[in-house]
């Protein structure tokens, strides 16, 4: 069984493993495609040893989208429980103002969408995270 929980940002004792960055660019939603997959993902990834969640979110956004000018804000914490194993992450919102066309990472391409695409890599998790950001943003943010 899979369960996703969204919580306010806290300074709890949990160890965060992931960051996920819901992003906008030119009034569109940003999604990326891993070079070994045919599905779309929200930019994000693992937090490296000794790295803060903010630093990890900035690094992942740059690596996966080519963004070099952006605003990045934490939105919420989340947990994903699969078969009684729980992992924790922090959810961000970014407004990308400028990005490089070429991406030197495991990402094959970045694309801009009017809405969340149907063919997601993690269809049981990503829509919940996407909705959580939409619910927490000011209406004039997008």
Q: Which domains does the chain have, with CATH numbers?
A: 2-137 (3.90.79.10)
d(CA 35, CA 108): 4
pLDDT at 141: 57
Task: Residue 91: name the closest of 15, 26, 23, 14 by CA.
Answer: 23
pLDDT band at 52 (very low <50, low <70, confident <90, very high): very high
What backbone torsions phi and psi does residue 141 show, to the nearest 5 degrees? -75, -20
pLDDT, tens digit, 9 for 90 and up, residues 77-130 = 999 999 999 999 999 999 999 999 877 678 999 999 999 999 999 999 999 999
| pLDDT value at residue 139 | 65
Calculate the average pLDDT of the chain. 93
DSSP state for residue 41 in the 8-state scheme: B
pLDDT over threshold 90, residue 142: no
Shortest CA distance to 45 belongs to which of 28, 26, 21, 24? Answer: 21
Q: How far apart are CA 128 and CA 124, in angstroms?
A: 7
Give the pLDDT confidence score for residue 10 in this predicted structure. 84
Give kind and range of the element (H or E) at residue 86: strand 85-99
Note the pLDDT of residue 140: 61
């Amino acid at each position: 069984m899979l369960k996703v929980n969204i919580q306010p940002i806290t300074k709890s004792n949990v160890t965060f493993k992931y960051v996920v960055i819901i992003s906008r660019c030119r009034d569109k939603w940003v999604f990326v495609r891993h070079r070994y997959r045919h599905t779309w993902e929200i930019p994000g990834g693992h937090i490296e040893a000794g790295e803060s969640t903010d630093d990890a979110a900035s690094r992942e956004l740059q690596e996966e989208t080519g963004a070099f000018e952006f605003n990045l804000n934490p939105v919420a914490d989340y947990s994903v429980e699969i078969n009684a194993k729980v992992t924790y992450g922090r959810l961000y919102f970014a407004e990308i103002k400028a990005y490089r066309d070429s991406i030197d990472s495991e990402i094959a391409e970045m694309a801009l969408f009017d809405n969340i695409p149907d063919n997601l890599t993690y269809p049981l998790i990503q829509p919940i995270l996407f909705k959580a950001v939409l619910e927490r943003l000011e209406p004039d943010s997008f």
